[in-house]
Structure 1
Amino acid sequence: MIEPTTSFLSIASLPKLVKGLLPLANRLADSRDKRTEELRAMGDTFGSPFDLARFYVEPSCQDFNPAEHDEDNHPAVAARAPVFATIDSFLREDYPLLADGSRQMFILSDAGMGKTSLLMMIKLNQLMAFWPRGFDCLLLKIGADTLKTVESHPDKANTVLLLDALDEDPLAWGGTKERVLALLAATTHYRRVLISCRTQFFPDTEPDPFGRPTRVRMGNYTCPVKFLSLFDDGQVAGYLAGVTRPPRRLSNQWY
């Protein structure tokens, strides 16, 4: 049971997370503990976690594809929410342990809008001990060995599983829906699952039986779905301010 005051993900923790990461960046090549090994593996697969954390700007999310709705004419449809708070609520909620898709969320957006970065930031919060004790986090890029890896992982009930880039998975090409159903079936015992995918690649789905626009149905699974929003002017300004700020001293190599 998660305490009401305990967060898995909070934007307020970002400055402390960055401060904790900076010393690790300069000694990563010489360290071999579990945390630095995971940071090194993350960098090899997804890119530097240190640069990401330093320049990260939290995106917003919404219930509908921003490419298909005119935000000026449909303000209610385009309602945006901070993605960290949205994901945190999903991770903390006390869902029943049913294999119905309620604990498996899809994160959708166009290319380059921050899906991978979001999953990396969730993993970094766990690695840097900014979420509840006793919960693990497994971040994977979806590929040929994904099913084997998720099925063999221990303590699934206390693990948040992050599966990135369904659209880059060769096993999904030509059979996306079948691949999604296989992933959902293999991950039903995890505490929560987040699966990212480019919107245009996501398979056609059935409407939610209860008419909820925030759910999609495939087979026997009815899953929550969130779309990342385009940056607004304030988020763009925040990002530009970060990347133009003089850099702190880091090792020439991140690993």
Structure 2
Amino acid sequence: MTDLVTRLRAAGCVFAEDEAELLSSAAPDPATLESMVARRVSGVPLEHVLGFADFAGVRLAVTEGVFVPRHRTELLTTTARGLLHPGATVLDLCCGTGALGLVTVRDVPGVRLVAADIDPAAVACARTNLTGVSSEVFCGDLFDPLPPDLRGRVDVLLANVPYVPTAEIAYLPEEFRVHEARAALDGGEDGLDVFRRVAAEAPHWLAPGGVLLCEAAPDQLEAAHKALRGAGLTPSTITDEDTETTVVLGGAPR
């Protein structure tokens, strides 16, 4: 184990001891362990090596190339859960592994959860993770693949849209820019291209009083609020200083 920790630490793994324990527990034999360690040392994200990620107390399947749900994004789910009521309808756009929708609706009775992503690999993960929770997981561009009966009925719309400006992707850590789908990162020139598309279309899908929730960077808030107001939604912001996460909300009129 000491040698394993040393190799991981030399590769730049900050939590080498924790990673060594996870890898050792997941590997069925020494040969597999060596293969897993070699991949991790080469820069493959730990979650892709393990085949799972832990998010908000839930373990989720994650396959190579699929965006890994991270602790900072839990603010989206805790905010969304505060808006939820039994029997509500939740839409998880850009769903990735399905983590946000799954955590948001957990233990809330009678909720309808619908999820969608443009990446077939992510959709496959989400269908696995949402087994027994929802069979409505669709592949397509934003709202395009959704069932028509959802229009005007969504109480909580989670959209973990990509919001990294294109020019800044080159400066991201390798595990993001090399090992995760670019579509999950690239938000266009100012990072808000996909956000604007979601904001413009969201009023057609939100129920009266429904709310759209997205992450954004602090320097994007003014433009994000402008897009929401332009779509007829009332903007607001929630920030967690500990994780440096900002959630933008757009409320539909009642």
Q: What range is the shorter-chain TM-score in?
A: 0.3 to 0.5
Q: Which structure has more RCO (C-alpha within 8 Å, separation ≥ 6)?
A: 1
Query: Higher strand fraction: Structure 1 or Structure 2?
Result: 2
